[in-house]
Amino acid sequence: MRYSILWCALAATLSAASGCNSNSLGGSSVDDGGTGGDGGGGVTKVLDVQPGAGQTLNITLGQMSPTVTYTATLDGQPAAANWSVDRSDVGTIAAGPSIDATFVPTGTTAGLVTVTVKAGGQTVKRQIVVALSASQNGVNTNIPSEKQQVPTTAADLTAGGGVGGVGGEGLGPAVTDQATLDALDNPTSNGATQSLAVLYPYDKTVWPRGLLAPLLMWNWTPGDADAIKIEIKSTGGSFTYKGTFGRPAILATTGRKFIRHPIPQDIWDLASNSAGGNNDKLVVSITLAKGGVGYGPISQTWTIAAARPAGIIYYNSYGTQLRQNSGEPSYNSGPEFGAAVLSIKAGDTKPSVVAGTTTPGSNAGCRVCHVVAASGNKLIVQQGNNYTRTSVYDLKNNNTENVLTGYDGTYGWASLSSDASLAFTNKADLAANAPQSRLYNFPPTSTTAINVNGIPTDLQAGSPSFSPDNQHMAFEFMGGTIGTATGNGTQLVSLDYASATKTFSNLRVLATMTGGKRAGFPSFLPTNNELVFHYQTVNSNHRYNTWHGAQAQIWRSDLATGNAVVLSALNGLGPDGKTSYLPTIGTNHANDTTLNYEPVVAPIAAGGYAWVIFTSRRLYGNLATTDPWQSDPRNYDAGQYNNVTCKKLWVAALDLNAPAGTDSSHPAFYLPAQELVAGNARGFWVLDPCRPDGATCQTGDQCCNGFCNPNGSGDTATNICASGSTNQCSGLQERCSTKADCCDPTNQCINNFCASVIG
């Protein structure tokens, strides 16, 4: 009985985390649509599948996995049945028809699996909890992902996105000293006297799946360590891990202290793919050893959103090592620094160049200030240091560049509609000398704007933004008159847009600024009914920006109430909205909670959240600790590991449909794969250029027709795009028109894709 109670509790936790129905655990259900019988009296034969009770498979990584063999009968007689599982990432079963079928765990993901059995017009379900445990002492270089987390030279520390795409000195060797191992397993101090604290990641972070393993960074008065123990446990009991590591070998070369260590990539994949949602979080703990004494453990609790983020992130980089095209020497008369638009996909360890060419002695190849359509098919970028010249890149066709001759000054920081067929022009900063804000067909074939209703010819719209459904437009109302309202630069507003009649209407005030404060760079959530924006509280030489001492935070407002509120958790503030939880090293990062800028929300909800990328000058643990304003490559040596800049891209999860006037954000995480020594900004998170039917995919939002189906091999990495679902309904991140199209009745149809919603 005790076993049954424990199994049900574990399975109920995991089923709640995965969206399954926990009321039928281990039981059977009969499909009322079936009419199986014996052919004589019309009596339905009863389908039974044994074993009937719920099963638990405890798997130790690296050892042979246990299996479960089921047998199907109709009225006690062997019956050939069809078999399937709902989570092929956790385990597989032969489809049949067959009397017996064996469930085989993949050994790469833990969780709750439902086995569905069909025979004689009936359906029976059986459930299995797969629990994974793993341990290691030192890096295992036989695992490719771990080998990539070990630098071989000091140059590796600043190459690409740094070691493992996140920086640091990589994985350490095995701990061979027994006294040190004993100290890690039996700490005698909790570390409080030594002020032991985790600097990064932040407690209560929400992570999506599919990211690179984070870099654990800590601070304490000893300032160094001999070894670390990392423990990871899922609160639902599906995953446990213990790893011990000594000082990374590269420290003998650099002479630096042991103050950070990554989670092994293969372990992070196991942990994040196994846990999911509010009911199955990850508790991550570290214990340090120094001089034969153990300190800790200190722990954080993280939520894993049960989905991988969709799309690609495009951003501009000053100081990129991938191009030399600025026409100006870098620090101390060094080579020209680079200025280009780069891209990162989930799982990348370094960025790729999208826009920008190497043109020695000239800035003609410089490409930085940009906007990208949500569909990911077009990118607008300014050329060189002449912000009036514009190019368009076709992201679906090998990033082909087309110079917009004759449109000088028109499209700087313009807003593109989701499909890039329309452009609404900006009147602030980059386009200060441009014509007034108007709507144009795009790519342009004429300098004449579209004749629309509802906006004046003298409208001045600052950093406008379309909603994902193209039915709303938000901007800073800098000038012109709409109805009885006249723009003077103190309000962030929105207008509805009807494409059929080319009419703008229904002016809404989303935020009102006082005392010279400014609101810009609005970006709508996938729900189209709320947005985030850059609320600049300390101004500099541009209207809103990230440099010359400008201070800003990320705020939220909604169309229904216009109730603007600071996103405290994202900005680094606690629940009181005043106290910072961000670390402070030295005296030059006291204002990190006000150094957050330029938010852009991904157009697809994933794992129950919207995802916002933003620029920040905050500390990145103890790795990026320079002056927050050091990001001009003319003023620092980009070849030095000590000069990792703080101007970087960060990501935070936002709750969908949160009540108006509340903080819907969670603590942010550093975007992996950025070049460490460059100053990076203005990230646009958009969809992949869509893939045709037959192309490989992981989720439906990657496909032009919106569906990603199994290819029959059981390998989810080689699923293929299709025009419809094999399930006759839409799964997560697959196309929908209404929520009724979604397979899971608890899903919502958000921006035409099925999405789970937390809470």
pLDDT digits (tens, 9 = 90+) for 508-543: 999 999 988 999 999 999 999 999 999 999 987 778
Mean pLDDT of 241-269: 97
Q: Which domain holds residue 732?
A: 696-755
Mean pLDDT of 259-278: 93
HEC states along 530-598? EEEEEEEEECCCCCCCCCCCCEEEEEEEECCCCCCEECHHHHCECCCCCCECCCCCCCCCCCHHHEEEE
Mean pLDDT of 496-519: 95
Tell me, yes or no, whether 216 and 293 share the same domain.
yes
- CB neighbour list of residue 290: distance below 8 Å, 6 or more residues apart: 222, 224, 225, 226
What pLDDT band is residue 15 in, cutting at 50, 70 and 90?
A: low
For residue 475, is it within any domain? yes
What pLDDT band is residue 310 in, cutting at 50, 70 and 90?
A: confident
Look at residue 38 in the predicted model and tell me its pLDDT.
42
In angstroms, the CA 655 to CA 534 distance is 18
Instruction: Identify whether the C-beta of residue 583 lies closer than 8 Å to the C-beta of residue 197.
Output: yes
In angstroms, the CA 200 to CA 667 distance is 11
Tell me, yes or no, whether 150 and 93 share the same domain.
no
Within its chain, how far is the Cα of 259 from the centroid?
Answer: 26
Mean pLDDT of 363-374: 90
Q: Exposed, middle or buried, 210 (CB in 10 Å: 0-12/13-18/19+)?
A: middle
Look at residue 29 in the predicted model and tell me its pLDDT.
44
For residue 342, is it within any domain? yes
Look at residue 358 in the predicted model and tell me its pLDDT.
84
- CB neighbour list of residue 5: distance below 8 Å, 6 or more residues apart: none
In angstroms, the CA 588 to CA 608 distance is 37
CATH number at residue 519: 2.120.10.30
Q: Which of 275, 290, 305 is the last residue of a domain?
A: 305
- List the alpha helices (DSSP H) in 388-493: none
Look at residue 551 in the predicted model and tell me its pLDDT.
95
In angstroms, the CA 404 to CA 737 distance is 36
What pLDDT band is residue 9 in, cutting at 50, 70 and 90?
A: low
Average pLDDT, the chain: 89
Q: Is the pLDDT of residue 349 over 60?
A: yes
Tell me, yes or no, whether 126 and 212 share the same domain.
no
Q: Exposed, middle or buried, 669 (CB in 10 Å: 0-12/13-18/19+)?
A: buried
Tell me, yes or no, whether 708 and 681 share the same domain.
no
Angle CA 9–11–17, to nearest 5: 105
Q: Is the pLDDT of residue 747 over 70?
A: yes
Mean pLDDT of 473-492: 95
Of 8-12, 267-271, 576-580, 593-597, which gets the smallest average pLDDT? 8-12
CATH number at residue 162: 2.60.40.10
The number of beta carbons lying within 10 Å of the beta carbon of residue 303 is 23
Token pair for 726: 């094999």
In angstroms, the CA 616 to CA 625 distance is 13
Q: Is the pLDDT of residue 317 over 90?
A: yes
| Distances 466 to 243, 328, 530, 659 between C-alpha atoms, Å | 47, 36, 12, 23
What pLDDT band is residue 18 in, cutting at 50, 70 and 90?
A: low
Tell me, yes or no, whether 546 and 463 share the same domain.
yes
* pLDDT over 90, % of the chain: 69
8 beta partners = none
* pLDDT over 70, % of the chain: 92
Tell me the CB-side half-sphere exposure of residue 164, using CA atoms within 13 A. Answer: 25
Q: Is the pLDDT of residue 286 over 50?
A: yes
CATH number at residue 113: 2.60.40.1080
What pLDDT band is residue 409 in, cutting at 50, 70 and 90?
A: confident
Token pair for 289: 């050893």
For residue 19, is it within any domain? yes
Look at residue 25 in the predicted model and tell me its pLDDT.
37
Q: For the segment 100-121, what is each residue's pLDDT rounded down to a tens digit?
A: 999 999 888 999 999 999 999 9
Q: For the segment 53-108, what is each residue's pLDDT rounded down to a tens digit?
A: 999 999 999 888 899 999 999 999 999 999 998 888 899 999 899 999 999 998 88
In angstroms, the CA 61 to CA 110 distance is 11
For residue 9, is it within any domain? yes
> Which amino acid, 204?
K
Q: Which of 686, 711, 741 is the last residue of a domain?
A: 686
Mean pLDDT of 341-360: 91
Tell me, yes or no, whether 164 and 105 share the same domain.
no
The number of beta carbons lying within 10 Å of the beta carbon of residue 578 is 9
User: What is residue 92's three-state secondary structure?
Assistant: strand
**Radius of gyration over every alpha carbon of the chain, rounded to an integer in angstroms:** 28
Whether this prediction's pTM lies above 0.85 is answered by yes
Token pair for 459: 């409208």
Q: For the segment 430-464, what is each residue's pLDDT rounded down to a tens digit?
A: 665 667 899 999 998 888 999 999 999 999 999 99
For residue 672, is it within any domain? yes
Instruction: Identify whether the C-beta of residue 600 lies closer than 8 Å to the C-beta of residue 615.
Output: no
Tell me, yes or no, whether 352 and 483 share the same domain.
yes
Mean pLDDT of 658-674: 96
709 beta partners = 720
Of 403-417, 460-474, 479-493, which gets the smallest average pLDDT? 403-417
Tell me, yes or no, whether 109 and 162 share the same domain.
no
Of 472-476, 638-642, 675-679, 731-735, which gets the smallest average pLDDT? 638-642
In angstroms, the CA 227 to CA 294 distance is 9
Instruction: Identify whether the C-beta of residue 644 lies closer than 8 Å to the C-beta of residue 624.
Output: yes
Tell me, yes or no, whether 328 and 400 share the same domain.
yes
For residue 179, is it within any domain? yes
Tell me, yes or no, whether 653 and 737 share the same domain.
no
In angstroms, the CA 64 to CA 588 distance is 53
Mean pLDDT of 579-583: 94
Tell me, yes or no, whether 111 and 166 share the same domain.
no
For residue 626, is it within any domain? yes
Q: Exposed, middle or buried, 406 (CB in 10 Å: 0-12/13-18/19+)?
A: exposed
Look at residue 518 in the predicted model and tell me its pLDDT.
92
- How many domains, the chain? 4
Tell me, yes or no, whether 178 and 30 share the same domain.
no
Is the backbone peptide bond immediately before 297 cis, with ω within 30 degrees of 0?
A: yes
Q: Which of 630, 651, 686 is the last residue of a domain?
A: 686
For residue 691, is it within any domain? no
Look at residue 686 in the predicted model and tell me its pLDDT.
95
Look at residue 405 in the predicted model and tell me its pLDDT.
85
Look at residue 410 in the predicted model and tell me its pLDDT.
86
| Distances 285 to 61, 301, 302, 511 between C-alpha atoms, Å | 20, 9, 11, 41
Look at residue 712 in the predicted model and tell me its pLDDT.
61
